[in-house]
Amino acid sequence: MHERLTANRLAALATALDDAMTAETDGLSESAVAALLVVRRSEPVPIQDIARTIGLTHSATVRLIDRLEEGWLVRRLSRKGREVSVETTARGKRRASQLQDRRIGAADALIGALDEEERALLAGLIDRMLEVPVDGRARAERICRLCDHGVCRGADCPVDAAADRMDAAKSGAA
């Protein structure tokens, strides 16, 4: 029973955090926010990479980009002319930064209730829990689709580190 209670409270915290992060998104859907952040992070981004990372089909991603082309994103043909990539406009970059700041600010507000020792303990626990759902590189990218990669990437990212260990195990087994 205690595990269910803890899980329920963690889920409620996730809901509160999600509510705080999604407030005032200019009517952008969760997928639209994710697309803006994914593209801004590593532009230009091929449409199929956006689709895989945000968890939509290719056709749904194309429709999403169609809507976001009204000021947020722009399509570009690759040098070979076969692949369409997406970049953010100046307005899209600003909005993605604002959305990222809102996301981090919402989490900071919750963490602010903890003292330094509790924050350190929480950080370690979160790192351990973030490794659990990682079953490969694609899942890791999806988990971190909204992350500020300037803060947490590579060796400092528990999700990326778990994916690296899986990649190493697969190459060792091959």
Q: Please answer whether residues 99 and 148 qualify as being in contact, where contact means their C-beta atoms are separated by less than 8 angstroms.
A: no
Q: Rounded to whole angstroms, how far apart are CA atoms 126 and 134?
A: 13
In this prediction, residue 155 has a pLDDT band, given cuts at 50, 70 and 90, of low
Residue burial 124-134, b: 16+ Cβ < 10 Å; e: rest: eeebeebbeeb
Share of the chain above pLDDT 70, in %: 95
Q: What is the DSSP letter of 1?
A: -
More confident residue, 25 or 102: 102
Q: Look at residues 60, 61, 84 and name the one whose alpha carbon lies nearest to residue 74.
A: 84
Q: Rounded to whole angstroms, how far apart are CA atoms 75 and 68?
A: 10
Q: Rounded to whole angstroms, how far apart are CA atoms 157 and 130?
A: 9
Per-residue pLDDT reduced to its tens digit, 41-88: 988 999 999 999 999 999 999 999 999 998 999 999 877 777 889 999
Please report, for the chain, the start and end positions of each structural domain, with discontinuous segments joined by +.
1-113, 115-174
Locate tokens 């490969």: which residue? 136
**Class of domain 1-113 (CATH, top level):** mainly alpha
- What is the model's pLDDT at position 174? 56
Mean pLDDT, to the nearest integer, of 12-37? 87
Q: Which residues pair with 86 in a beta bridge?
A: 45, 75
Neighbours of 29 (CB within 10 A): 12
